[in-house]
Structure 1
């Protein structure tokens, strides 16, 4: 299990390479949800998501031989962007493997850094290809099955614990589980009374299906939220979530897109569905907890174009 000392060490390692993002009360979201809401605006992080933290932590931990070999990552978008940008900043050659469903903007940004981008037909194929490239000698920077990466993501929780006002319940999006594992480890150490809730979208339910099965299992992927679409969680992240998280809630893609529009209107931030899904889940948490609920939202990323969100909104009829 990742400990608070691991996360504090990661924070020291990545200081100067990432941004300490704002943690702010949101009057707009508080009015919308009917309870006090504090938002950790990780979409303002370098590369537009929390992923820069884990990527930086891992890259800075590599030996000279591992750096010289070049690094490789598999990604639905944000991890690939983060690795490409942070590797370029540290003068490390990077290869990023993404499914063709990844946002075009993510592919463009990764390529613009000088990284090699390899596209596959689906996320399962992307994970298979990255395994082959690792076996050929590239250094793998896994998006979530790596304690160094998880500790890096946990610095989000460290900052939230230091900066937020009193909260009772914190919601965190779940793909492969790296972010929620790190955040939960940090909050359990710094604010042990706080409940932590995971949020997935339908068709990207790797963690909730793992919890139901008693361990990681392969899942079918169909969600529009490519950044949450892990074909399975890892034993590492499953162990953290099963031990530290109150529950994992699953919301439809339609509601996640509606959440993006609500976040734009009420919180004045432009997010992707991986963050938009927090709002419908937050309503369910408020219903379950009742009076006295004070919410924290980890707004994990904003790497969706206006065209992407408008297309999804039209498809689901939420405009």
Structure 2
């Protein structure tokens, strides 16, 4: 497991390459949920999500030989965007493998940044292609199973701990678990009394299934939220979550999309369903912990188009 010194070192390494995103009280969400809410706006990060942090930390850790040979990543969207853009900024050649279900905008951004994009039928197929590309000399930048990358994502937690007022509960979305592993490491050092809640969507519940099974297990992916769709978590992220996170909650795709609409209406931010899922989960947290709760929400990304969200809203009968 990584420690706080790893996160602090990552913060020093990536400073100047990424944005220290705003941590702000949200009057609109406070009114909506009936409890004080603070938001960490990672959707304002370079590349539109927290993923820029881990990708940059990993790229800056590579040797000159590795940088010259290039890197490869598998992604449901945001990791591919982040690696493509940050690799271009650091003059490293990138290859990104995505499932055909990945948002078209993610593919377009990765290609426009100069990355070579390969599409596979599904996420499992994308991960299966990795060994072959590594044999060709490319360095894998895994979306979550990498201590250097997790430490980079943990800088979100360092900033939240430093910039937020009093908090009792922090909610973090989970795909493969890299973000929550890093954030939990930072918060357990800086804010040890805060409860940490992970949030997944039905059909992308790799971490909650792993917790129930006592270790990582493969899951069938059916969620529309491709940016949370990992076919399994890793032993590394499982270990962090099982020891540092209070509980993982699972919400429906419909609730996650409604959460995206609520964030637009009440928080005035355009997030993706991977962040929208935090709102229905926050309501459950408030029901459990009762009065006195002060929530922190890590709004992880905003790389969904208006067309994407409107399409999902129509599919689920939302307004």
Q: CA separation in 2, counterparts of 1:59 and 1:70? A: 10
The equivalent of 1:200 in structure 2 is 200
> Pairwise mapping of residues 143-182 of structure 1 onto structure 2 (< 5 A)?
143-182=143-182
The equivalent of 1:114 in structure 2 is 114
SS in 2 for 1:60: helix
Shift of 1:131: 2.4
The equivalent of 1:251 in structure 2 is 251
Number of equivalenced pairs = 319
1:126-180 residue CA offsets vs partner (Å, 9 max, x unmatched): 0011222112211000010000000000000000000000000000000000000
Q: CA separation in 1, counterparts of 2:52 and 2:183? A: 15
The equivalent of 1:104 in structure 2 is 104
Q: CA separation in 2, counterparts of 1:258 and 1:318? A: 7
Q: TM-score, normalised by structure 1?
A: 1.00
The equivalent of 2:297 in structure 1 is 297
Root-mean-square deviation (Å): 0.4
The equivalent of 2:71 in structure 1 is 71
SS in 2 for 1:182: helix
Q: Residue 184 in 1 paired to residue 157 in 2?
A: no
The equivalent of 1:316 in structure 2 is 316
Q: Residue 231 in 1 paired to residue 231 in 2?
A: yes
Q: Residue 93 in 1 paired to residue 93 in 2?
A: yes
Q: CA separation in 2, counterparts of 1:312 and 1:128? A: 29
SS in 1 for 2:189: helix
SS in 1 for 2:304: coil
> Pairwise mapping of residues 103-142 of structure 1 onto structure 2 (< 5 A)?
103-142=103-142
1:75-132 residue CA offsets vs partner (Å, 9 max, x unmatched): 0000000000000000000000000000000000000011000000000000011222
Q: TM-score, normalised by structure 2?
A: 1.00
SS in 2 for 1:38: strand
Shift of 1:69: 1.1
The equivalent of 2:280 in structure 1 is 280
The equivalent of 2:26 in structure 1 is 26
Q: CA separation in 2, counterparts of 1:303 and 1:215? A: 31
SS in 1 for 2:266: helix
The equivalent of 2:218 in structure 1 is 218
Q: CA separation in 2, counterparts of 1:281 and 1:107? A: 30
**Runs of at least 5 residues in structure 1 that lack an aligned partner in the other structure:** none
- Choose 220-229 or 129-138, whichever is displaced more: 129-138
**Runs of at least 5 residues in structure 2 that lack an aligned partner in the other structure:** none
Q: Which runs of 4+ in 1 moved over 6 A?
A: none
1:246-300 residue CA offsets vs partner (Å, 9 max, x unmatched): 0000000000000000000000000111000000000000000001111000000
- Choose 135-144 or 273-282, whichever is displaced more: 135-144
